[in-house]
Amino acid sequence: MTEVFEPVDAADRDLALGATGLLGRFNTAGVLTAADIHVARALGALAGERDDTVLLATALACRVLRAGSVCLDLAAVDRDVAPDLPWPDPDAWRSAVAASPLVAQGVLRWESGLLYLDRYHEQETQILRDLALRAQTSPPHDPDLMARSLARVFDEAGYDEQRAACLQAAREWTTVVIGGPGTGKTTAVAGLLVALHDQFTARGETLRVALVAPTGKAAARLQEALDTARLDPADRSRVEGVEAMTIHRLLQRDPGSSSRFRHHRGNRLPHDLVVVDETSMVSLTLMARLLEAVRTDARLVLVGDPDQLSSVEAGAVLSDVVRGYAERPDSPIVSLTRTHRFGEHIGDLARAVREGDADRALAVLSAGDESVQWLTDARSPQLRALTVDAALALRDAATRGIVDDALVALERHRLLCAHRDGPYGVRFWNRRVEQWLTAETADPLHDHSYPGRPVLVTSNDYTLGVHNGDSGVVVETAEGRRVALPGPDGPRLFAPSRLGDAETMHALTIHKAQGSQAEHVTVLLPDEESRLLTRELFYTAITRAKQVVTVVGEESWIRAAISRRAQRASGLAVRLGATTPERRNLGDTTGD
C-alpha cells in the first residue's frame, strides 16, 4: 500500500478552479490538492493528453511525493481509503498510462508498474549510473600496510566487524556501513581515517577527508563521537583537524539557485574520502547531488541505520540500496551487528521492534528492568514526575546562570511525540509540562524567555551560525536572559529576540529528534488509529535513548506500531537488484 491517502492538512484542502471530471471529484474529496491538479493539467496540456484517468495518475504521482514516495505504484494504490470515488479499472488504467503521450514524450516515466515524474526517475537513474561507474574500478591500496594499521588501531579482540568495514572501504570506492545505534559505526570510521591516512602518507600524499551528515545536529554528534573515539595519541593526531559538517555545507549552495550546488559533476569535490553519517535521513535528490559531486576516484562511505525513519523529503535511499544489493555478489554493504553501548535491555527492545516481534518487545517492556520502563497510561503520575524533574533540573541550572550545567541538563531527558497536534502531540505536551512546572514553582511562564525554557531552533540563520534543529536553553546571565546553544568551542549565548524561529522543547517530534540522542527518552505513542504510528517511527524513537527508555502507550498501540511498516514507493531497490555488475579491473586491488 502506498501512502497516497495520508489525509491532507486542512490548509491543503483547497479546491482547484474549474476542476471537473475525475480530477474534480478527487479534489473535492480531499485526496488531491489544487497544486497536484495544476501540475497534472499543465503536463497534460504540454503532451496533448486528455484521458482523465492518466491525468488522475499524474496528479497522484505528485501527491505521493509529499508522503515520501518517489513514484506512484499504480497496482498498490489503496482504494479503500476513498472507496466511493470512481476509481479507474486497474487493467484499463495501466494500459492508458503505458500508452500515454506523457510517457512517450518522457514527461512521465513508466517502469515496472511505477509512474514517475521525469525528474525523480532521472535522479534514480543517475544514482544507479554513478554507483555502477564507481564499482568498475577499485582504489589502489597496500593490503599489508592496511593489516598493520588495523592491528594497531583495533588492538583488542572483538573488533572484527569494524576491521571488515575498513578493509571493504580500502578495497572499493563505495562502501555502505550499516548498523543500529552503538554498533561501532563511528569507531569503524575513526579506524578507517587512521588507516587511510597511513596509506596516503606511505605514498607521499595527503588524505583529504570530508565528514558529513544531513543535519547540523547529526554533524555535531559525529564530531563529538570522533573526538572521543578510542585512539592512541599518535593516531589521534592523524584525525585531528577533520571537521564534520552538513552535506549542504560541503556541496555549497549556489547563491543563484535554490536547488543547485557549487559542487557537481562539472566541479567535483577535492576530497579523497567522503564519509556520510546518518545516511537514512538523506533524500533521493540530495543523494543524487552528492554522488555526482564526489570524484569517481574518491572513496565514498555511506554510514547509517536502514531501519530508521527515512528522509523528510522523498526517497528511502539507504534502505533501498541495502535491499537492492542484497542478492548481488558485488555488494558494498558491511553490516555491524553487535551492540556495544546500550544496556542489554534497550538493545533487546530495539531488536524486537526492528524484527517485528511484538511479543518479545512486550516481554522486554514488562520485565521490569530500570533501563526499559513501560507506562500504559499517559495520565500516570510517573510521567508527570519524570517530565517535571527534567524541567526543574533545567530551571535550577538556568536560574543560577550555570550555562554548562544547563546544557548538560538539556541532554538528560527528551519527551518524544509522533504528532505535532492533538492529544499525543508536541504542542499539547509542551503546554502540559509548562502547566505542571508552574504548579510546582509558581513561576509565571507566560513570558517565552523564562529561565530553563528548552528551545528548538526551527530555521537557519547563517549570519548567527544557528541552524534548524539546534537546541538550547534560556539562562539567566549578568547581561540578562540569553539562549545558550552548544557550539564546537563551548556554549554560545544569544539574546532571545535575536533568535528567529524557535519553539519550546519540553516535547519534541520523533522526526525532529532523528540524528540526536538523550540519556533518558520517553516515547509517547499515539493510539493505534494514528496514521504516523509505524515500526520505523517506534524504532527511531527508542534508539534515541542512551541509558533509559520509557514507553507510554497501551499494548494494542505497541502491537500496531510494530506491525505497520512505513512504505515508500521507489524503484531504486528493484533497479539496483536487476543491474549486472560490470568490472574493468576485477581483482586488481593492489598498487596504482
Ligand X SMILES: Nc1ncnc2c1ncn2[C@@H]1O[C@H](COP(=O)(O)OP(=O)(O)OP(=O)(O)O)[C@@H](O)[C@H]1O
| Residues contributing to the annotated binding site | 179-186
Kindly indicate which of the ranges 118-126, 174-182, 440-448, 559-567 contains the residues binding ligand X, using the contact rule CB under 6 A: 174-182
**Does residue 225 belong to the site contacting ligand X (CB under 6 A)?**
yes
Among 341, 412, 420, 511, the residue binding ligand X under the rule CB under 6 A is 341
Kindly indicate which of the ranges 175-183, 370-378, 487-495, 579-587 contains the residues binding ligand X, using the contact rule CB under 6 A: 175-183
Is the CB of 12 or the CB of 227 nearer to ligand X? 227
Classify residue 313 by its DSSP letter.
Answer: S
- Find all residues with CB under 8 Å of 449, minimum gap 6, and list them: 474, 481, 483, 496
**Does residue 162 belong to the site contacting ligand X (CB under 6 A)?**
yes
- For 282, the grid coordinates are 538523506
Is the CB of 194 or the CB of 475 nearer to ligand X? 194
String of DSSP letters for 52-102: HHHHHHHHHHHHHHHTT-SSEEGGG--GGGSTTS-PPPHHHHHHHHHT-HH
Of 431-490, which residues contact ligand X (CB under 6 A)? none
Calculate ∠ Cα 328-176-189, nearest 5°.
Answer: 150
Among 340, 360, 511, 559, the residue binding ligand X under the rule CB under 6 A is 340
Kindly indicate which of the ranges 2-10, 185-193, 293-301, 384-392 contains the residues binding ligand X, using the contact rule CB under 6 A: 185-193
**Does residue 515 belong to the site contacting ligand X (CB under 6 A)?**
no
Q: What are the residue ranges of helices labelled H in 75-215?
A: 90-98, 101-104, 118-135, 143-153, 160-171, 185-202
**Does residue 158 belong to the site contacting ligand X (CB under 6 A)?**
yes
Q: How far is the CB of 166 from ligand X (least distance, A)?
A: 12
**Does residue 183 belong to the site contacting ligand X (CB under 6 A)?**
yes
Q: How far is the CB of 510 from ligand X (least distance, A)?
A: 16
- For 280, the grid coordinates are 537514512
What's the CA gap between 202 and 206, in Å, rounded? 10
Among 139, 184, 214, 451, the residue binding ligand X under the rule CB under 6 A is 184
Q: Is 517 left (phi over 0), alpha (psi -120 to 50) or beta?
A: beta
Among 88, 139, 182, 452, the residue binding ligand X under the rule CB under 6 A is 182
- Give first-to-last CA distance, the chain, whole Å: 49
| 3-state secondary structure (DSSP) of residue 556 | helix
249, burial (CB in 10 Å: exposed 0-12, middle 13-18, buried 19+) = middle
Is the CB of 203 or the CB of 341 nearer to ligand X? 341
Q: How far is the CB of 536 from ligand X (least distance, A)?
A: 16
Residue 225 · residue 216 · CB < 8 Å: no
Is the CB of 247 or the CB of 466 nearer to ligand X? 247
**Does residue 179 belong to the site contacting ligand X (CB under 6 A)?**
yes
> Of 246, 247, 235, nearest to 192 (Cα)?
235
Count, residues near ligand X per rule CB under 6 A: 15
Residues near ligand X (CB under 6 A): 158-159, 162, 179, 181-187, 225, 230, 340-341
